[in-house]
Amino acid sequence: MDEPPDTLEDELTELAGLLLANETLETMLGHVAHIAVRAIPACDAAGVTLFERDQLTTAAASGPLVRRVDEHQYSTDEGPCLESLRTGELRRSPSLQADTRWPKFRAPAVGEGVVSCLSLPLVIGNHGTAGVLNLYSQNRPFEDADEEIGRRFVTPASVAVANARAYAKARAVIEQLEEALQSRDVIGQAKGIIEAREHCGPDEAFERLRDLSQHRNIKLRDLAAAIVDSPDTYLSG
C-alpha cells in the first residue's frame, strides 16, 4: 500500500464506477470528460460527442471551450472528431496551426486558442462507433505519450459511456412504465367511483368515462385524475 498511486489506474477505477453514483446520463458523461482531462497530461479540455439519430451532439464537456470548438467541426462538417467518427480511428493533430487536413475547421479552432487536439473513437465491440472523445489543448501539443495514454483510456471510457447510456435508457423506460401504471391506477379508481355512484359495472363505467372525456375534450387520464380529485365536479347524482 506504500507504493505511489497509479494515477491512470485511479482514474480508470473511477470510470468503472460511474453507474454507482446514480446520476443523470449528462452528469455521468461529464465525469468521463473531467477524468480524461486529469488522466491525459496535455489535455486542457475534453468532451463527449455522441452520434444519435443522424445528429451530432456534444453530450458532455469539461468546459465551454469544448462546445464552441465542437460546434466549428459540426458546422464546417470537418475536423478530427468527424473523421474519427467516420473512420472509427484515432485522429491527432500535434499542431493545429500547421495542419492542412481540415482547412475550414482550422481557422476558427485556432481562433479559440486550441493548439493541438486528439480525437478518440468510442467503439463498443461490434456495436460500432457510438461517439468520440474529443481532447483539446491550449498550451502544448498532444505527443506520442499522450496518444498512448489516450489509447489505454479510450476502451474503458467507451465501456463506461455505453454502460451509462444503457442505464439511462433503462431508467427512462422505468419512468415511462411507472407513469403508465399510475395512469392505469387512476383510471381504475375513477371507474370504481362511477361504479359506486351510478350502480353500474366496470365496462359501463369505462364507457361513461370515455364519453365524458370526449364531451369535455379532456384526455382520459386527466379526466380520471380530476374525478378522483373532485368527483362532484364531474359526476352528477
Binding residues (CB under 8 A) for other proteins: these are 1, 3, 9, 12-13, 15-20, 22, 124-125, 155-156, 159, 162-163, 166-167, 170-171, 173-174, 177-178, 180-181, 184-197, 199, 202, 228, 231
| Minimum distance of other proteins from residue 21's CB (angstroms) | 9
Please identify, using beta-carbon distances, which residue of 1 and 98 lies nearer to other proteins. Answer: 1
DSSP class per residue in the chain: --SPP-HHHHHHHHHHTGGGG---HHHHHHHHHHHHHHHSTT-SEEEEEEEETTEEEEEEESSHHHHHHHHHHHHHT-SHHHHHHHHSS-EEES-TTT--S-HHHHHHHHHTT--EEEEEEEE-GGG-EEEEEEEEESSS---HHHHHHHHHHHHHHHHHHHHHHHHHHHHHHHHHHHHHHHHHHHHHHHHHHHHHHHT--HHHHHHHHHHHHHHHT--HHHHHHHHHH-HHHH---
Closer by beta carbon to other proteins, 107 or else 172: 172
Shortest reach from residue 46's CB to other proteins, in Å: 18
Using the minimum distance from each CB to other proteins, give the nearer residue, 140 or 184.
Answer: 184
The nearest distance, CB 78 to other proteins, in angstroms, is: 32
Phi and psi at 58, nearest 5°, equal: -80, 100
Neighbours of 51 (CB within 10 A): 19
d(CA 127, CA 73): 24
- Residue (63 or 231) nearer to other proteins, CB: 231
Least Å distance, CB 145 to other proteins, is 18
How near is the Cβ of 24 to other proteins at its closest, in Å?
14
